[in-house]
Structure 1
Amino acid sequence: MRGESKPEVCVIGLGYIGLPTAAIIARANCPVTGVDVSQQVVDTINRGEIHIEEVDLDGLVQGVVQRGLLKASTKMQAADVFVIAVPTPFMKDGDHTPNLSYVMSAADDVATVLKKGDTIILESTCPVGTTEQMRDRIAALRPDLAMPGLAAGTPDVAIAYCPERVLPGRILEELANNDRSIGGITPRCARKALAFYKRFVRGTCVTTDARSAEMCKLVENAYRDVNIAFANELSMISDAMGLDVWEVIRLANRHPRVNILQPGPGVGGHCIAVDPYFIIHGAPDQSPLIRTGRAVNDAKMRHVIENAARLVGDNPGLKVGCLGLAFKANIDDFRESPARLVAATLARRFGDRIAVVEPYAESLPQEFAGTGAALVDIDTALEECGILIVLVDHDLFRAIPAEERSRALIYDTRGIWPDFRQHTSAANL
């Protein structure tokens, strides 16, 4: 950074986290270039438009683009601060090995324009040690620059890790107001990253080392995954015993020190369904509970598919409405969604009997091609479907009054229609 002037910022990856982050930074009057591999994404943003659904993001992006504070490109640009927010999926190899190719590719690109005094911040969720791996990769590409933790004396660049912790639908608010854990390769790196985040974060920024910050992010989501697994396992036990799991949880939560979460058709999204595997991969012999939590939540998806298929198979004359594809309510994110898996599995098995209602989709995902399943609106589903399977608790579905669904057989995996809970038990399917 040059004196008290605003740093020039380059955000790599303009997806669900990268674009809101770039817009928030630009709102703080820092000039931002967003870099993405998709020309369509770049063109959309440069028109002042957005390619994802997020509350208030459209107006913010339009404003900062019009003011000349945010532009997008497919090519890496020189900057003072680089923020890497690219995907970190796992391999489809059975072992869920973390795929860091996007992070390392971004690091390679940053190395081509890196100069003395720059700061690199990795925000992508990563296994412990990734920030150091990224540092080592850049060091090999740029031997002319002294890297933190490798060279004696003052390093030429700062490298840190700072994961986001946001809720879809509230990303802009939470990017600004949530506390942040900022882990530097060295304390000096952490301080430089801290100074940057304080430009646009109102929450408390806590500095630590990079490995602790990496683990912190993974622990947060593994904690949630294990707790959801308890609720999902309890729902399967209740099904086997002919009990109403929603009533059991309601009664148990009256205990002052009990707070059981609500079960669903599984766990989805790019965080909770993925991050625990990064811990398991790093310490396979020390993580049996986290591994079991993942297995339980995956088993709940299979449980829902079996129950739903039985209900549909036992009522061959009825059309079926699958309500929802997103991984959680009121968003357009279908990544790792159990609802999507359940609906697609039913579509492959029962073909054109399946109608899908998803208010945040303009078309069905690719895996529905050739099945005969159709994307319909909620009114059509209520008129035509004799079976309704609730997979996502969108507000649109919650608002449907009892009289409009009184003639349907219902499998409610989210517990949003208490007057029909008797149909959610496997014992009643």
Structure 2
Amino acid sequence: MQFKTISMIGLGYIGLPTAAVFASRKIKVIGVDVNQKAVDTINRGEIHIVEPDLDMVVHAAVKEGYLRATTTPEPAEAFLIAVPTPFKGENHEPDLSYIESAAKAIAPVLAKGNLVILESTSPVGATEQMAEWLAEARPDLTFPQTHAENSDIRVAHCPERVLPGHVLRELVQNDRIIGGMTAKCSEVACALYKTFVEGECVVTNARTAEMCKLTENSFRDVNIAFANELSIICDKLSIDVWELIKLANRHPRVSVLQPGPGVGGHCIAVDPWFIVASDPEHANLIRAAREVNDAKPQWAINKVRSIAKALSKEDVTVACLGLAFKANIDDLRESPAMKVVAGLAALPGLKVLAVEPNICHENSPLEEVELAQLNTAIDCCDVVVVLVDHDEFKKIDLAALEHSGKKIIDLKGLANANAK
């Protein structure tokens, strides 16, 4: 099956790279986003996020006429939805309102034979719920939940599984899980992704595809929680956790991950709660891991507060290195570094300077925190807190700073890495 026009609903960290990759294969892509500024930026051939090489691909696609952005959905042969799926309330209940809005937005332009794919990481059953919203909005069309293989509209769930900073490469090279609501839905979705996916397109049903993505990220979350809990115990026992993990990993069947200030990003910090919400009675280990990782930022705040108090100064300046949720990107979603910095800024007697090389210094994401250049922050601070291992920070001689009298709280193991 040949696709001439694709609509990408949501032009964020997943939607824009996906749209760009399709466009690079000479397929017309209509990108849709509610953010007018992002739409205008893309239509100039520029990008509003940080992702290596994406700027070149988007510029070429726009210049050649294969990619165009708008705020209003237009007719297409396939619609891919990549919108946020956050929580609502304090009980980590999945919020599907963005998916609902996207479904209702594309419903008026749907036509017989169209394919609708939910790419957003979602709780089990979200794809079926999306299909219900579409059916309610378009009673003149038939959908898989009522007409199975004979439906007018094909519906599938195909979650992304890419690493920020490597999105363009992994979109192409990684295997893709194709979860159609029917066999025909999977077949059509496979045909679409095979226009650029070099990995294998593995077919399953929609619910299993949804659970697969949640499982992948929950597996990682549980393993990170082990490392984070270990780091807290080692700090209590005056053991260098970085050396300990390095030694433990010499065992041929042990591979302990690296600890940090917590877990961030829209996937690993969110997805496990979707499993917990679906079966709270039995998701005990997954819940415990989430609680360990969610508590790590407060542990870091307490650690800084204790060290600052021991300095016996009226005002202590703290330089916090990094705000993004991982290295070398500008993504602040669920960032534990942001939580640490915000928590420190709320403490009396502390002046907090944040250093984030991937964010414009005119646009601080935290009103109460000053963004500073790296050298300025280090020169005038009493305490250095390493929250993200950006490449710029790896060049810092933490040992020399400590020797000069500054207190170092290295939550990413940069000192250990630089000692190799």
Q: Same fold (TM over 0.5)?
A: yes
Q: Distance in 2 between matches of 1:174 and 1:367?
A: 29
The residue number in structure 1 matching 2:69 is 72
The residue number in structure 2 matching 1:424 is none
Change beyond 3 A, Cα 1:283–1:346 = same
Whether 1:36 aligns to 2:37 is: no
Secondary structure class of the residue paired with 1:254: coil
- How much has 1:381 moved relative to structure 2? 1.9
2:344 to 328, 331, 346: 346
Whether 1:205 aligns to 2:193 is: no
Contact kept? 2:149, 2:183, Cα under 8 Å: no
Whether 1:115 aligns to 2:104 is: no
Change beyond 3 A, Cα 1:337–1:125 = same
Q: Distance in 1 between matches of 2:149 and 2:327?
A: 51
TM-score (norm 1): 0.93
Partner amino acid for 1:314?
A: A
The residue number in structure 2 matching 1:140 is 136
2:11 to 6, 10, 14: 14
Between 387-396 and 308-317, the greater mean CA deviation after superposition = 308-317
The residue number in structure 2 matching 1:305 is 301
Contact kept? 1:410, 1:420, Cα under 8 Å: no
Q: Distance in 1 between matches of 2:34 and 2:272?
A: 27
- How much has 1:403 moved relative to structure 2? 3.3
Between 358-367 and 145-154, the greater mean CA deviation after superposition = 358-367
- How much has 1:151 moved relative to structure 2? 1.7
Structure 1 residues 8-407: aligned runs within 5 Å: 8-91=5-88, 93-151=89-147, 154-315=150-311, 316=313, 318-350=316-348, 353-363=351-361, 368-369=366-367, 371=368, 373-401=369-397, 402-403=399-400, 406-407=403-404
Q: Distance in 1 between matches of 2:211 and 2:316?
A: 49
Q: Distance in 2 between matches of 1:161 and 1:152?
A: 16
Contact kept? 2:249, 2:256, Cα under 8 Å: yes
1:412 to 391, 410, 413: 410
Q: Distance in 2 between matches of 1:206 and 1:160?
A: 13
Change beyond 3 A, Cα 1:291–1:364 = farther
- How much has 1:343 moved relative to structure 2? 0.9
Q: Distance in 2 between matches of 1:392 and 1:405?
A: 19
Contact kept? 2:19, 2:31, Cα under 8 Å: yes
Which consecutive unaligned segments of at least 5 residues does structure 2 have?
A: none
- How much has 1:420 moved relative to structure 2? 10
Q: Distance in 2 between matches of 1:382 and 1:149?
A: 59
Q: Distance in 2 between matches of 1:330 and 1:167?
A: 12
Q: Distance in 1 between matches of 2:403 and 2:109?
A: 63
1:68-126 CA distance string (max 9 Å, x none) = 000000111000000000111111x2211101001011111111111111100110000
Contact kept? 1:159, 1:185, Cα under 8 Å: yes
Aligned pairs, number: 415
Contact kept? 1:325, 1:339, Cα under 8 Å: yes
1:298-329 CA distance string (max 9 Å, x none) = 12111111001111222225422111111111
Q: Could you tell me the percent identity over the aligned residues?
A: 53
- When the two chains are superposed, the root-mean-square deviation of aligned CA atoms in Å is 1.7
Between 73-82 and 133-142, the greater mean CA deviation after superposition = 133-142
Contact kept? 1:347, 1:368, Cα under 8 Å: no
Change beyond 3 A, Cα 1:326–1:145 = same
Change beyond 3 A, Cα 1:327–1:62 = same
Secondary structure class of the residue paired with 1:327: coil
Q: Distance in 1 between matches of 2:4 and 2:124?
A: 29
Partner amino acid for 2:301?
A: I
